[in-house]
Amino acid sequence: MTSPFGHYIDGSWTRPAPAAPVIDVLNPATLRTAGSVAAGDRDDVDRAVRAARAAFPEWAATPLSRRIQAVADLAVALEANRERLALTLATEMGAPLTFARQAQVGVAIADLEALIDAAKQLPGPRPVSNSLVVSEPVGVVAAITPWNFPLHQIVLKAGAALLAGCTVVLKPSEVAPLNAAVLTELVDELGLPAGVFNVVFGDGASVGEPLCAHPDVDMVTFTGSRAVGERVARSAAATIKKVALELGGKSAAVVLDDADVPATAEQVVRSCFANTGQTCAALTRLLVPRADLEEWHKAVVAATARWQPSDPLIYDTVMGPLASTVQLKRVREHIERALADGATLLTGGPDALPELGPGAYIAPTVLGGVTPGMRIFREEVFGPVLAVTGYDSEDQAVELANDSDYGLSGGVWSADPQRALGVAKRLRTGTVGINGAGLDVGAPFGGYRQSGIGRECGAAGLAEFLESKTVMGARDL
């Protein structure tokens, strides 16, 4: 096995001592070790933050054109290493290789391109009232990223921060950190000033919490669960840091009575089951006219048939394993609780799939008879589980869609796009797709309520890393 990746601090890789603790990364398809990284601690965090703080003045003063060029070079490097990154992602978190090439890596490249376009449009100093208003980088940014779309989330945060003139300390998920190590090798080749980009591997308790609490960190940007997001916010609050949180969702697909049933069923199932259901914006609640429930049940079960799990390294695999056995246990418990609460199993279920070996595989699952009183209607599963609920009127459909602590995503289907738009405007959620429209990396992405604070992607995502300064008496200078 190859040596563990060390941390990347102040422009150099550290080499773990022979007896130093490491984190083994398991391939969820085989449960064999795919690689390992150093297990960081508070001292590693402090060294990385101090390096980022020392590098900040020079990087903040670097012309925007040079920062744009650096990020553009990174996008080119990602493209040149698409296959290597895709294979790494397939191996460490189970994404099907084809999906990893197109979505995991492809979306990350598109993220950077959209951020670069936004940076080119950044306004210069502008007169407002009797003052001059200028935008400045927020400072040292702690970026804490998840395991489900790890590369996408790293480049959204780090790319925007670097373009804004911030320096970065990245803590990637300990479940899937190997793609971050590959990315860091590419960043190292860019020749950025030492300390501009740093990486400390480790878990939340040893690295994440001290990073959030560090007094020299100016902003924390976090993507993950609602529960951990609360801890991040509490830790950052001790020093009144700026916080951006992209958290969970329990998003609804609202299907109106004039929608095409087979085509819509295919699109909803794809949203729910892609990436093995491990997508924060997945549409996991399907709301359909009660009068047509039987037809919808048959259509969704039929659409689910092609989403059978398989080895992620096989070309035509559409769904791999869950990212870990821990996640497998959680998803099974959600399904079992839903059945105990009275939901009907239409297809799939919590049973093991021994024919696929020891990996973290689970069958795509559709549950009928789901009511608002059930936990499956309200709690994020983060697995391939679709809950179907009937409604009696359009108003009730909107009420059911909004009956959630979350508000990250949503979808509306109708043969009349204007009718779909009218319903979309009534949904209390950060993004809504009409008739299957998906993620737009040039537009703001983020949630209402407990789905988070702030926005990512494009101009809105870049703005999160900027502060506004008012210089009074300088309007005409």
Q: What is the pLDDT of residues 166-224, one digit of tens each?
A: 999 999 999 999 999 999 999 999 999 999 999 999 999 999 999 999 999 999 999 99
Q: What percent of the chain is predicted at pLDDT more than 90?
A: 96
With cut-offs at 50, 70 and 90, classify the pLDDT of residue 27: very high
> Is it the case that residue 35 has pLDDT exceeding 70?
yes
Mean pLDDT value across residues 455-474: 95
Q: Phi/psi of residue 34, each to 5°?
A: -100, -15
Calculate the alpha carbon distances from 151 to 86, 270, 279 in Å. 10, 21, 14
271-329 pLDDT, tens digit per residue, is: 999 999 999 999 999 999 999 999 999 999 999 999 999 999 999 999 999 999 999 99
Please tell me the predicted confidence (pLDDT) of residue 180: 98
The rounded distance, in Å, linking the Cα atoms of 440 and 226 is 23
Q: Is the pLDDT of residue 126 over 80?
A: yes
Whether CATH 3.40.605.10 fits 8-247+451-472: yes
- Domain definitions of the chain by residue range: 8-247+451-472, 251-440
Residue 322 contacts residue 331 (beta carbons within 8 Å): yes
Read off the pLDDT band of 28 (50, 70, 90).
Answer: very high
Asked if 280 is an active-site residue, the reply is yes
Q: What is the mean pLDDT of residues 224-228?
A: 93
Q: Which of 92, 209, 246, 380 is catalytic?
A: 246
Place of tokens 């860091």: 184
How many Å apart are CA 471 and CA 6, to the nearest integer?
Answer: 44
Q: pLDDT confidence of 1, banded at 50, 70, 90? A: low
d(Cα 127, Cα 263) in Å, to the nearest integer?
Answer: 52
Tokens, residue 148: 């489900």
Cβ count near 126 (within 10 Å): 11
Alpha-carbon dihedral sign for residues 335, 339, 341, 346: positive
Q: Looking at 209, 280, 380, 464, which residue is catalytic?
A: 280
Cα(430)–Cα(248) distance, integer angstroms:
12
Residues 6+ apart with CB under 8 A from 168: 52, 140, 141, 143, 157, 158, 161, 162, 196, 197, 198
- pLDDT (mean) for 368-374: 97
The mean pLDDT value for 451-462 works out to 96
Is 136 catalytic? The answer is: no
For 251-440, CATH gives 3.40.309.10
| Cα of 196 vs its chain's centroid, Å | 23
Q: Which residues contact 369 (CB under 8 A, 6 or more apart)?
A: 342, 343, 344, 388
Q: Classify residue 5 by its DSSP letter.
A: B
Confidence band, pLDDT 50/70/90 cuts, at residue 18: confident
